[in-house]
Amino acid sequence: MNQSTSIAQDGGMLVLGAGELGMAVLRHLAPRCRDAGIALVALVSPRALAAPTPAQVQAHDELRALGVGLLAFDLATRDSADLVALLRRFDTVIGYTGFVAGPGTQRRLTRAVLDAGVRRYIPWQFGVDYDIVGKGSGQPVFDEQFEVRGMLRAQQATDWIIVSTGMFTSFLFEPAFGLVDLEAGIVRGLGSWDTRVTVTTPDDIGRCVAAILFEQPPIANRVVYLASDTVSYGQLADVVDAVTGRAVQRELLTDARLAFDLAANPADGMAAYRIAFARGDGMWWDKEQTYNVARGIPTVDVGAWLRMHRA
């Protein structure tokens, strides 16, 4: 593929970032774009192209094989005028950068998208329901995501789609998060055993986002909910019991315990996240009411994920 020719075209879709989630979306989006004759480009850091790691070399080779153009741009150092000029070349922009350039990244990107007159934007909102969480949750990231929604709703020139996915399924089993310790046979609940959480795998997100972008009539100016699974912490322990074939030890981290842990170590980001995911409200939704269920798109539930990834 002639990369420079693809990138020089006006219109098309730009995916900001080619990390775990960006790659998952690109894999599912590329065939649809190819069939529709739509140019698909991934924005990556200049360093990733100039001096890629072995993993980046593999990812870039995969994207080129899929017909995806690669465009180098440093979000952390380039000014807003350069960013607006770049975004103006694309019809659809999809954000997968997270807060790579620090706090304010998502507000800055959204402002640039609007100033560039991009026709359609999917911001990096692949998480919890920030409308319910609101501001003042104690999570600055959540506050910024809530503000981005306000920016989008305050204008009418750019269509937007917010995709709410809950946390990555893998995060339930992230050792630093401290919910599931498979080696020790411990599952910890947050707040109460009935508190629920919605989780989605990156591959499921990629499959669904690709479908959402090609919906007819087009989806616009609304929140779309996805869920690979929605479980209570008690149900999570039951799943681990069933998959491992042994009864795990169950340890409940009450709200008081979580608050004590954060007060003892205010710089512990995971302690703050445990408090957030103990709240329940805004952290889950009924899987039966999601886009993937409505469209009959299969997803990987928690039990299936654990069976696939268990060592």
Residues 144-172 as b/e (b if ≥16 CB within 10 A, e otherwise) read: bbbbbbebbeeeeebbbbbbbbbbbbeeb
Domain end, chosen from 225, 240, 268, is at: 225
Q: Model confidence over 227-257: pLDDT tens digits?
A: 999 999 999 999 999 999 999 999 999 999 9
My answer on whether 127 and 271 are in the same domain is: no
My answer on whether 111 and 260 are in the same domain is: no
Residue 242: inside a domain: yes
Tell me the C-alpha distance between 77 and 57, whole Å: 23
Residue 89: inside a domain: yes
Beta-bridge mates of residue 41: 14, 69
My answer on whether 28 and 140 are in the same domain is: yes
Is residue 4 pLDDT above 70, yes or no? no
Instruction: Decide: residue 8, CB within 10 A, 0-12 exposed, 13-18 middle, 19+ buried.
Output: exposed
My answer on whether 209 and 145 are in the same domain is: yes
My answer on whether 37 and 73 are in the same domain is: yes
Beta-bridge mates of residue 162: 223
pLDDT for the residue 135: 85
The CA R_g of the chain, rounded to the nearest whole Å, is 20
pLDDT for the residue 103: 85
Residue 294: inside a domain: no
Q: Model confidence over 113-132: pLDDT tens digits?
A: 999 999 999 999 999 999 99
Residue 233: inside a domain: yes
Residue 290: inside a domain: no
Single pTM value for the model: 0.93
My answer on whether 239 and 207 are in the same domain is: no
For tokens 């997100």, the residue is 205
Residue 292: inside a domain: no
Tell me the C-alpha distance between 152 and 223, whole Å: 12
What six digits make up the tokens of 113? Answer: 């998208």
My answer on whether 178 and 161 are in the same domain is: no
Give how many domains the chain has, as a whole number: 2
Sign of CA dihedral 107, 209, 18, 156: negative
Residue 295: inside a domain: no
- Please state at what angle helix 105-116 crosses helix 140-153, rounded to 10 degrees: 10
Domain end, chosen from 184, 210, 225, is at: 225
Query: Helical H runs in the chain?
Result: 3-8, 20-36, 46-50, 54-65, 80-87, 105-116, 130-133, 140-153, 202-213, 233-244, 255-264, 269-276, 291-294, 302-309
User: Does 167 or 10 have the greater pLDDT score?
Assistant: 167
Is residue 211 pLDDT above 80, yes or no? yes
My answer on whether 24 and 81 are in the same domain is: yes
My answer on whether 248 and 276 are in the same domain is: yes
pLDDT for the residue 6: 37
Which residue segment(s) compose the domain that 79 sits in? Answer: 3-165+201-225
What is the CATH number for 122? 3.40.50.720
My answer on whether 174 and 187 are in the same domain is: yes
DSSP reduced 3-state for 13: strand
Q: How confident is the model at residue 136 (pLDDT cuts 50, 70, 90)?
A: confident
My answer on whether 130 and 29 are in the same domain is: yes
Q: Model confidence over 260-275: pLDDT tens digits?
A: 999 999 999 899 999 9
Q: Model confidence over 97-116: pLDDT tens digits?
A: 877 767 889 999 999 999 99
Tell me the C-alpha distance between 156 and 1, whole Å: 36
My answer on whether 7 and 152 are in the same domain is: yes
Residue 214: inside a domain: yes
For tokens 């910024």, the residue is 144
What is the CATH number for 194? 3.90.25.10
Range with top average pLDDT, 1-5, 47-51, 208-212? 208-212
- Please state at what angle helix 20-36 crosses helix 54-65, rounded to 10 degrees: 20
